[in-house]
A and B are shown apart, each in its own frame.
Chain A
Amino acid sequence: MGNLLQLLLRYGGFLLFLLLEGICFYMIVRYNKKQNLIFTSTSNIFVGSILDQYDDVAKFIRLSEDVDLLRKENARLKSFIKTDLYDNSYRLDTFLGDSVRMRYEYIPVKVINNSIAKKDNHITLNKGIDHEVQKHMGVISNNGVIGVVKNSSCCFSSVMSILHRQTRISASIRSKGYFGSLVWNGENSRIMQLNEIPRHAIIVVGDTVETSGNSNLFPKGVQIGIIKEINRKEGPNSYDIQVELSNDIANLQYGYVIKDLMKKQLEEAIDE
């Protein structure tokens, strides 16, 4: 209390000045038309800009929720893409509603562990059997292929990355139809090798490589990368093609697990 009194005595003049100026300022903006107008419009601009910035921050905080929401929506929409539907028509006059069946379903997942440095890389996802993620399902990201599910527990699953020396992905060259198998030699994480493309195929550097749809792991037409280099080897009757991946496994965050709804039917047909 004594300190407060000393403070008042010491800065009394200044505090009184501030108080009286405050009263003046209040009167100025309260009773003078012009000053009132300027004050209110200026404070509106000020308050508006603060609210704007607050809104930006709030949006940023909500971002991850929004991303989740968009991914779920994406997964739903992806299953309606034409190449992902099973063509059910067998007569010219098949009723339109019956002519297609849904073939693939997408499950949005998050990458929680990843590596690219080893020769055989694995990725861990945050969904498992409870979310219908099972062995032998393909995993893709927005702009490329990630790998194939090797193992899954109730809530997590392990994926064999495409950056694995045992990976064999059936790939074809877009709009040319030739297909081969995509492998990784364990060196550059952005480059994979496409084998078994026959020598008579006419291909150029820059052609797009996509999934062939020959296996039930991936639907036809998912982009994998573009051709970077074509070498003609001496011995075998096929090219040695270097493919630059369109997605970067090193910064992978989100993906979709592909569930083939007609897997059983396909396997039955092949077995017999």
Chain B
Amino acid sequence: MSNIVFVNILRFLALYFLQVLILRPASIGWEGFFYVNVHIYPLFILLLPLRMSKPAILLLAFVMGLLIDMFYDSPGIHTSALLFMAYARSYVLSYVEPREGYNVNYSPTKKRFGLNWFFQYASILIALQLFFYHSVEEFTFVYIIDILLKTFYSYLLSIIFIMMVMFLFNPTD
């Protein structure tokens, strides 16, 4: 039990610093080309235990989003997207539910539910998060083409990074 809490705290810190110290400079470094915005931190929300209550997930997403926004200097933008993703999590979970149902003591990881299942689960939520993020970032649907392009490119890179992390560490919980 305390193991799960410890793992999640560690994951929180690791993903957070990976995002703000390594991935942020990487995406800002390409001048004039902001299509690529690799988001790895949503993985923390993705991997939270299945039995965790909705309000707790939302609050964690809120805290994480605010901390990310502090570094990106964009108060509220990452937070709102991450909140949206956290809220959508339970609906996506019931959408991709396997035939035998969930064991509520598990966390939704690749090791527990298989690669196919995890890829499906992660890609839906990451796509939602990125689309929401880029919409709020533009703040108008006049540039819907821009929003969709940015979402697409960021999505490809983000999902590659996330799957890489999953293969490297392959956590059970």
Binding site for B on A (CB under 8 A): 12-14, 16-17, 20-21, 23-28, 30-32, 34-35, 38-39, 42
Contacts and interface: CB of A to CB of B under 8 A. Distances in A.
Contacts of B84: 21
B83 interface: yes
Contacts of B80: 21, 24-25, 28
Contacts of B83: 17, 20-21, 24
20 contacts: A12-B54, A13-B58, A16-B55, A17-B83, A17-B87, A20-B59, A20-B61, A20-B83, A24-B76, A24-B80, A27-B75, A27-B76, A27-B79, A28-B76, A30-B75, A32-B74, A32-B75, A35-B77, A35-B136, A35-B139
Most buried by B among A13, A23, A39: A13
B76 A38 contact: no
Contacts of A28: 75-77, 80, 136, 139
Contacts of B79: 20, 24, 27
A21 B140 CA distance: 17
Contacts of A42: 140
A24 to B, nearest CB: 4
B155 interface: no
B62 interface: yes
B87 A13 contact: yes
Nearest to A32: B74
B58 A17 contact: yes
In terms of DSSP, what is the predominant structure of the interface of chain B? helix
A106 B148 CA distance: 71
A180 B66 CA distance: 93
Interface in B114-173: 136, 139-140
Contacts of A12: 54-55
Nearest to A38: B139
A223 B8 CA distance: 93
Most buried by B among A12, A14, A16: A16
Contacts of B75: 27-28, 30-32
Contacts of A21: 80, 83-84
Contacts of B53: 13
A153 B55 CA distance: 79
B96 to A, nearest CB: 19
Contacts of B86: 17
Contacts of A27: 69, 75-76, 79
A20 B76 CA distance: 10
A34 B143 CA distance: 14
Contact of B76 (A13, A17, A31, A34): A31
B136 to A, nearest CB: 6
A98 to B, nearest CB: 72
Nearest to A28: B76
B62 A32 contact: no
B54 A13 contact: yes
A34 B83 CA distance: 21
Contacts of A31: 75-76
A194 to B, nearest CB: 67
A32 B55 contact: no
B127 to A, nearest CB: 19
Contacts of A35: 77, 136, 139
